Amino acid sequence: AQSVTQLDSQVPVFEEAPVELRCNYSSSVSVYLFWYVQYPNQGLQLLLKYLSGSTLVESINGFEAEFNKSQTSFHLRKPSVHISDTAEYFCAVSQREAAGNKLTFGGGTRVLVKP
């Protein structure tokens, strides 16, 4: 079985400040890792993913996440946030070799960017 823990349920941050959202996972096998973002009253959108190769992955809107196998973590960072980054962020994991490709999600971290 796999599980995901997002250590912070809410993160208030001022505009143009950096933010880090923490994600730890548990799995007995190799995994793929994802971050999704959910804006108010919308569905989830894929932000970035780690499948293999470089442990640092980036999104088109300035977010980056680093896969740390020894610490079983996949923290999400952005050096300077905008008001429009206000949303809920979900970390997710799926097993590399498993019937079906279901994602297991963390509980989410709500980011509130203040002016």
Minimum distance from residue 47 beta carbon to other proteins (Å): 10
Minimum distance from residue 96 beta carbon to other proteins (Å): 7
User: What's the CA angle centered on 112, arms 36 and 35, to 5 degrees?
Assistant: 10
Q: How many Cβ atoms from other residues are within 10 Å of residue 94's Cβ?
A: 17
59/49 Cα distance (integer angstroms)? 9
Minimum distance from residue 105 beta carbon to other proteins (Å): 4
Asked if 43 is part of the footprint of other proteins (rule: CB under 8 A), the reply reads: yes
Q: Which residues bind other proteins (CB under 8 A)?
A: 32, 34, 36, 42-46, 49, 51, 90, 94, 96, 99-108
